[in-house]
């Protein structure tokens, strides 16, 4: 298998690990080799998407070109099984309708006056200076630059879109902002300064110039703004208008330049289609990755038995005599963050601290490229499988025994190690692994070293981010486009997808948020609704065919009422209430199966698929040398 991990680079290139595992640029999906799973009719809805142009006039946008980029329908699948050729639909369907609005002059005057009022003047960022040095730059950034709070900007736009424009911002809303060309224009970037790492105290928003942004959303509601008159910035590399290849992989990286560059045909690509570029951002970032995403893993795979909770069991392996890993993880933060995200379960987080001993020590050295021995990884042909297969061999020595009708147990394996002992995997923060056969979630692996802590990262946010993957969440910079059946990540034609990280979610890499946000909750609740209804339908069919038990039949009838309430709440976009009803109905159906004498699993195991075509989704430090 030829797979890239990441190479540590200076300012604007992602890390590539020497082991050869792909970072986060999924391959185009091919036809499945395993059967498509049958399911009951999908739960249907219509998503009304508000698109508001602020600072763009109707003559600036070719609406035909812009609209040609937008998706018509939403049919999410579980992404990781797809890498093995297994299609597992979430079983929800959406139709998109769009309402395009051009903000009137009074709204624009008020908004840009607000930005000028809250912006703090300062020196331009290093990336704005680097933009000024570009051969093909047509406009220069000048001091002073305004530093504008991103969440406050989002809130102003959301509130005033409601009060001044009469828009229903309970619907998903994109604001495309352009301040450039007005007499009051000021060069500016957006900031978020209110979050520090719970372990290291590092404030990425204050201390890292790479966290000066052009977009934000999801802090207060279903809104996201994107401002090409801000920056230029590092995160999407739009400061670089000269070089086609921003990440060193030998492929042209499609990026959106500053708005004033449109009409410049001398850059690394012709900047001649503003309308089409904004349409791409709407589709492949805001709609696909933030508003209506697809799950990485099946959320039912981590479903506990009815009435039970979720237990995260952390094995802390000590491999650095100069530091103790327990000093760099806050279990209360991890528990509270997961509890707020999935409130329908009672969460418990347990940690076992222990020295890194055999057989796990040998496995870790093999994984890090420091021991070339053959071992269980040979079965998979990749040393990156070594941690997974070794845990599989010795699971019961490190995790509680799985018992029927008990809590779900998620295994986390944390390595407090040294820079040298992480070897070829240095720079890797963690990954939520699958079973190497079907795309079913298995274990979380994560790593911390002195240099990683110096860069600002402890174990806590990594643990929460990776367990977010484990229960189903994707990044906001990679995902699935159901209209073209394409799984994609932030490289090549979709490099601009990095802008999805400029949103309120711990699932990003930008490290400005330590919690799950509005978009996360909406998406996870929708995923669960679809999967609960699907699995309940499958189990209830077995119950009806197997029993005449009166109580079981009454439970099925009661569950139907729950599912009717589910659909009503879902159509009203009250996804939290919808998932509450769906979970209650699912649990009734499951209990009915027990009364009928059936022994059915919470979720049917996936069959082994074909050879994996996609990546291992690993999470490195982005821009470690900053």
Report d(CA 334, CA 281) in Å as an integer: 32
| 87 located within any domain | yes
Within this chain, do residues 268 and 339 fall inside the same structural domain, yes or no?
Answer: no
In residues, how long is the chain? 626
Q: For residue 372, what are its two tokens?
A: 């070339």
- Kindly state whether residue 220 falls inside one of the protein's structural domains: yes
In a domain, 75, yes or no: yes
In a domain, 619, yes or no: no
Residue 607: inside a domain: no
* Residue 7 CB-half CA count within 13 A: 10
Q: Rounded distance, CA 367 to CA 8, Å?
A: 18
Is residue 126 predicted with pLDDT exceeding 60? yes
| Region 406-431 average pLDDT | 97
Structural domain boundaries, residue 560: 519-595
Tens digits of residue pLDDT in 316-326? 999 999 999 99
What's the number of domains the chain is made of?
3
Q: Is 349 helix (H, G, I), strand (E, B) or coil?
A: strand
Whether residues 341 and 423 share a domain: the answer is yes
Residues 58 and 199 in one domain: yes
Please state, in angstroms and rounded to a whole number, the distance separating the CA atoms of residues 622 and 8.
9
Residue 578 in contact with residue 527, Cβ under 8 Å?
no
Q: Are residues 578 and 460 in the same domain?
A: no
With a cut of 70, say whether residue 28 has pLDDT above it. no
Together in a domain, 193 and 114: yes
With a pLDDT cut of 90, the percent of the chain lying above it is 88
Question: What whole-number distance in Å separates Cα of residue 167 and Cα of residue 582?
Answer: 30
Mean pLDDT score across all residues of the chain: 92
Mean pLDDT for the stretch of residues 588-594: 93
In a domain, 441, yes or no: yes
Quote the tokens at residue 609.
Answer: 């698929």
User: Got the DSSP string for 5-67?
Assistant: -----SSS-----TT----S-PPPP---SSPPPP-SPPEEEEEEEEEEEES--GGG--HHHHH
Q: Which of 111, 84, 6, 96 is nearest to 48 (CA)?
A: 96
Q: Are residue 89 and residue 180 in the same domain, yes or no?
A: yes
Distance CA 169, CA 172 (A): 6
pLDDT at 161 (0 to 100)? 98
Please state the pTM of the whole predicted model. Answer: 0.93
Q: Model confidence at 131, in pLDDT bands (50, 70, 90)?
A: very high
Same domain, 146 and 279: yes
pLDDT tens track for 77-117: 999 999 999 999 999 999 999 999 999 999 999 999 999 99
Calculate mean pLDDT across residues 197-214: 98
Same domain, 248 and 354: no
Radius of gyration of the CA atoms of the chain, in A: 24
- Mean local confidence (pLDDT), 206-221: 98
Residue 11 lies in a domain: no
Co-location of 73 and 216 in the same domain: yes
Do residues 57 and 137 both lie within one domain? yes
pLDDT over 80 (residue 4) = no
pLDDT for residue 16: 30
Task: Tell me the mean pLDDT in the region 421-437.
Answer: 98
Residue 202 lies in a domain: yes
Q: Quick one: 283 and 401 in the same domain?
A: no
Listed residues 487, 515, 543: the one ending a domain: 515
436 and 537, same domain (yes or no): no
């Amino acid at each position: 298998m030829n797979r890239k991990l990441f190479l540590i680079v200076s300012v604007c290139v992602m890390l590539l690990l020497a082991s050869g595992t792909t970072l986060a640029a999924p391959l185009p999906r091919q036809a499945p080799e395993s059967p498509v799973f049958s399911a009951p009719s999908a739960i249907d809805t219509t998503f009304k998407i508000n698109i508001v142009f602020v600072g763009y006039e109707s003559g600036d946008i070719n609406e035909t070109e812009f609209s040609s980029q937008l998706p018509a329908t939403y049919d999410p699948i579980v992404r990781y099984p797809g890498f093995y050729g297994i299609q597992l639909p979430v079983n929800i369907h959406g139709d998109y309708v769009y309402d395009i609005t051009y903000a009137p002059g009074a709204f624009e005057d008020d908004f840009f006056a607000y930005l000028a009022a809250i912006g703090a003047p300062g020196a331009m960022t290093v990336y704005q200076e680097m933009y000024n040095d570009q051969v093909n730059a047509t406009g220069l950034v000048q001091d002073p630059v305004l530093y504008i709070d991103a969440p406050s900007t989002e809130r102003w736009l959301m509130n005033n879109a409601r009060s001044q424009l009469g828009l229903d911002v309970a619907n998903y809303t994109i604001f495309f902002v352009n301040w450039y060309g007005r007499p009051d224009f000021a060069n500016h970037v957006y900031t978020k300064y209110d979050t520090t790492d719970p372990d290291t105290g590092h404030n990425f928003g204050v201390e890292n110039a790479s966290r000066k942004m052009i977009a934000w959303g999801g802090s207060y509601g279903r809104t996201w703004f994107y401002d090409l008159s801000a920056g230029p910035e590092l995160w999407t590399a739009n400061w670089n208008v000269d070089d086609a290849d921003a990440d060193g992989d030998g492929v042209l990286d499609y990026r959106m330049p500053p708005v004033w560059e449109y009409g410049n045909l001398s850059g690394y690509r012709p900047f001649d289609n503003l309308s089409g570029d904004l349409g791409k951002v709407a589709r492949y970032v805001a709609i696909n990755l933030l508003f209506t995403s697809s799950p990485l893993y099946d959320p039912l795979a981590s479903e506990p038995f009815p009435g039970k909770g979720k237990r995260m069991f952390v094995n802390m392996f000590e491999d650095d005599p100069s530091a103790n890993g327990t000093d760099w993880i806050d279990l209360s933060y991890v528990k509270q963050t997961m509890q707020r995200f999935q409130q329908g379960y009672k969460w418990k987080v347990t940690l076992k601290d222990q020295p890194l001993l055999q057989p796990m020590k040998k496995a870790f050295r093999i994984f890090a490229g420091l021991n070339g021995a053959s071992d269980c990884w040979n079965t998979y042909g990749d040393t990156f499988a070594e941690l997974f297969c070794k845990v599989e061999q010795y699971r019961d020595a490190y995790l509680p025994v799985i018992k029927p009708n008990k809590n779900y147990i998620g295994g986390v394996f944390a390595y407090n190690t040294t820079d040298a002992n992480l070897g070829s995997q240095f720079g890797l923060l963690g990954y939520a692994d699958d079973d190497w056969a079907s795309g079913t979630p298995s274990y979380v692996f994560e790593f911390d070293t002195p240099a990683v802590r110096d860069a600002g990262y402890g174990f806590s946010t990594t643990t929460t981010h990776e367990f977010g993957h484990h229960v189903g969440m994707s990044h906001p910079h990679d995902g699935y486009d159901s209209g073209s059946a394409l799984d994609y990540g932030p490289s090549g034609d979709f490099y601009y997808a990095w802008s999805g990280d400029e949103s309120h979610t711990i699932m990003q890499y930008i490290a400005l948020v330590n919690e799950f946000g509005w978009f996360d909750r909406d998406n996870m609740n929708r995923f669960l609704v679809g999967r609960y209804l699907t699995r309940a339908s499958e189990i209830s069919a077995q119950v009806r065919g197997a029993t005449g038990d009166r109580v079981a039949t009454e439970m099925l009838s009661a569950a139907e009422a729950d599912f009717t309430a589910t659909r009503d709440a879902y159509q009203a976009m009250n996804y939290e209430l919808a998932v509450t009803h769906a979970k209650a109905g699912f649990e009734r159906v499951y209990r009915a199966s027990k009364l009928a004498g059936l022994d059915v699993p919470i979720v049917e195991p996936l069959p082994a698929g074909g050879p994996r075509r996609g990546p291992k989704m690993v999470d490195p430090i982005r821009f470690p040398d900053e």
